[in-house]
């Protein structure tokens, strides 16, 4: 039996994300809590993101309040600023979210050691990921799961409160106190990003014709959808090497870079270089990031005219694009 509370922007999304609703005894309802009895807490995932089953999620559990036989909570030493006196069946999800944030801040301010710690993970032979903490005294607990990363995504978990024992009268009509409690972690997924560096090497330069401009078309797609499209340029006033870096490419995206203009009197060294592909963008901070593609050009003795000016459009949001801005060198 579990209840979940989800997070909103500030607080609206909080109503739909991580915080289990806590049961409180009905007036003159459930028999008294056995405050000397040990409790257990089993943590599971909500199944929303399949790849999370393959990750290990460290979780810290802090006891922040004791509970009396009558179901009333009293903050422990060091957490005197927390107030659970208003907890009742009328306490809203938003209120629980606020209390969890206050408890998390109090734990950090006190530099507290966790009462218990576990790792939510899928062990051999298991279909789902789980983590357990046993022999816990009765009371109110703060559950804080650490952020974890997959190759393409980051998962964050908002701290939440859970009562041990819990009572599920509202769901089942049974007012017995449950000392072995199940609780579900609900993650918030955030996309990771990486970078790509376009390197241009000009082997020979003709000063008679002045600057040499090279233009690249960059297309990125992920999951069958375009996630980046742009035209970029590099300008040379001498032989040598230059590069430009593209940031904010979604990790896992496939990126194709095509040299669509090779200067007025220059040619690409090998035609195979003209179109280069990175099959999988690596997230920033991971080994191999940033990735690179390398182009080589040289003077071809056949001036043909042309220009390397590129128009850049900035997306302003809500379907609106800004005025074009001309730029000769995207590396600037």
User: Could you tell me if 257 and 275 are in contact, meaning their C-beta atoms sit under 8 angstroms apart?
Assistant: yes
Measure the CA–CA gap between 151 and 251, rounded to whole angstroms: 7
Model confidence at 28, pLDDT cuts 50, 70, 90, reads: very low
| Number of residues that this document lists for the chain | 332
- Predicted local confidence at residue 130, as pLDDT: 95
Q: Is 226 helix (H, G, I), strand (E, B) or coil?
A: strand
- Predicted local confidence at residue 168, as pLDDT: 81
Question: Burial, 120: exposed, middle or buried (Cβ in 10 Å; 0-12, 13-18, 19+)?
Answer: buried
* Residue 27 clears pLDDT 70, i.e. is over it: no
Domains along the sequence of the chain with CATH: 13-191 (2.60.40.10), 193-327 (2.60.40.1140)
- Predicted local confidence at residue 16, as pLDDT: 36
Q: Which residues of 263-279 are buried (b: 16+ CB within 10 A; e: fewer)?
A: bbbbebeeeeeeebebe
Contacts of residue 30, defined as CB under 8 A and 6 or more positions apart, other chains included, come to 71, 167, 169, 175, 176, 177
* Residue 4 clears pLDDT 50, i.e. is over it: no
- Predicted local confidence at residue 26, as pLDDT: 43
Q: What is the pLDDT of residues 62-119, one digit of tens each?
A: 999 999 998 899 999 999 999 998 887 788 889 999 999 999 999 999 999 999 999 9
User: Looking at 192-206, 253-267, 280-294, 313-327, which range is the least confident one?
Assistant: 313-327
**Closest by Cα among 312, 332, 326 to 235:** 332
The runs of H, that is alpha helices, within the chain are 93-110, 169-172
- Predicted local confidence at residue 324, as pLDDT: 52
Higher local confidence (pLDDT), 40 or 205 = 40
Structure tokens at 270: 């090998």
Measure the CA–CA gap between 226 and 318, rounded to whole angstroms: 17
Contacts of residue 332, defined as CB under 8 A and 6 or more positions apart, other chains included, come to none
Question: Burial, 201: exposed, middle or buried (Cβ in 10 Å; 0-12, 13-18, 19+)?
Answer: middle
Mean of per-residue pLDDT scores for the chain:
85
Structure tokens at 124: 């051999």
Q: What is the pLDDT of residues 133-155, one digit of tens each?
A: 999 999 999 999 999 999 999 99
Measure the CA–CA gap between 247 and 57, rounded to whole angstroms: 29
Q: What is the pLDDT of residues 216-243, one digit of tens each?
A: 999 999 999 999 999 999 999 999 999 9
Residue written as tokens 């999800």? 93
Q: What DSSP line would sit under 44-82, residue for residue?
A: EE-SS-GGGGGS-EEEEEEEEEEE-TTS-EEEPTT-TT-
Query: Mean pLDDT across the stretch 24-29?
Result: 42
Structure tokens at 82: 């927390």
Contacts of residue 129, defined as CB under 8 A and 6 or more positions apart, other chains included, come to 44, 45, 52, 53, 55, 57, 120, 121, 122
* Residue 48 clears pLDDT 60, i.e. is over it: yes
- Predicted local confidence at residue 327, as pLDDT: 55
Model confidence at 120, pLDDT cuts 50, 70, 90, reads: very high
**Closest by Cα among 255, 273, 193, 264 to 235:** 264
Higher local confidence (pLDDT), 216 or 309 = 216
Model confidence at 328, pLDDT cuts 50, 70, 90, reads: low
Measure the CA–CA gap between 283 and 255, rounded to whole angstroms: 14
Measure the CA–CA gap between 217 and 231, rounded to whole angstroms: 5
Query: Mean pLDDT across the stretch 171-181?
Result: 87
- Predicted local confidence at residue 169, as pLDDT: 76
Measure the CA–CA gap between 121 and 111, rounded to whole angstroms: 26
Half-sphere exposure at residue 158, Cβ-oriented, CA atoms within 13 angstroms: 28
Q: Give me the percent of the chain exceeding a pLDDT of 90.
A: 66
Model confidence at 183, pLDDT cuts 50, 70, 90, reads: very high
User: Could you tell me if 277 and 247 are in contact, meaning their C-beta atoms sit under 8 angstroms apart?
Assistant: no
- Predicted local confidence at residue 332, as pLDDT: 57
- Predicted local confidence at residue 164, as pLDDT: 96
- Predicted local confidence at residue 5, as pLDDT: 34
Higher local confidence (pLDDT), 289 or 319 = 289
pTM of the shown model: 0.79
Query: Mean pLDDT across the stretch 17-41?
Result: 65
Residue written as tokens 């806590």? 22
Measure the CA–CA gap between 34 and 227, rounded to whole angstroms: 57
- Predicted local confidence at residue 6, as pLDDT: 34
């Amino acid at each position: 039996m579990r209840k979940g509370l989800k997070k909103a922007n500030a607080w609206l999304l909080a109503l739909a994300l991580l915080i289990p609703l806590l049961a409180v005894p009905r007036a003159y309802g459930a028999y008294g809590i056995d405050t000397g009895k040990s409790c257990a807490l089993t943590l599971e995932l909500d199944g929303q993101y399949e790849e999370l089953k393959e990750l290990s999620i460290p979780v810290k559990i802090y006891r922040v309040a004791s509970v009396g036989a009558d179901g009333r909570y009293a903050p422990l030493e060091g957490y005197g600023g927390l107030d659970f006196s208003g907890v009742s069946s009328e306490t809203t999800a938003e209120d629980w979210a606020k209390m969890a944030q206050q408890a998390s801040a109090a734990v950090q301010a006190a530099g507290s050691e966790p009462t218990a710690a576990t790792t939510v993970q899928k062990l051999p032979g298991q279909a789902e990921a789980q983590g357990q903490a046993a022999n816990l005294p009765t009371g109110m607990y703060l559950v804080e799961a650490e952020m974890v990363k997959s190759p393409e995504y980051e998962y964050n978990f908002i701290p939440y409160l859970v009562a041990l024992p819990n009572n599920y009268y509202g769901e089942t009509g049974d007012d017995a106190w449950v000392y072995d409690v199940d609780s579900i972690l609900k993650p918030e997924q955030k996309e990771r990003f990486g970078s790509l560096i376009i390197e241009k090497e000009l082997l020979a330069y003709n000063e008679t014709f002045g600057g040499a401009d090279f233009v690249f078309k960059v297309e990125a797609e992920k999951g069958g959808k375009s996630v980046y499209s742009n035209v970029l340029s590099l300008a040379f006033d001498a032989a040598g090497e230059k590069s430009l870096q593209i940031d904010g490419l979604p990790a896992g995206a496939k990126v194709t870079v095509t040299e669509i203009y090779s200067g007025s009197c220059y040619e690409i060294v090998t035609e195979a270089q003209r179109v280069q592909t990175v099959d999988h963008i690596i997230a920033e901070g991971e080994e191999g990031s940033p990735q690179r593609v390398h182009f080589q050009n040289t003077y071809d003795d056949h001036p043909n005219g042309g220009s390397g000016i590129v128009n850049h459009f900035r997306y302003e949001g809500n379907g609106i694009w800004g005025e074009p801005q001309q730029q000769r060198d995207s590396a600037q």
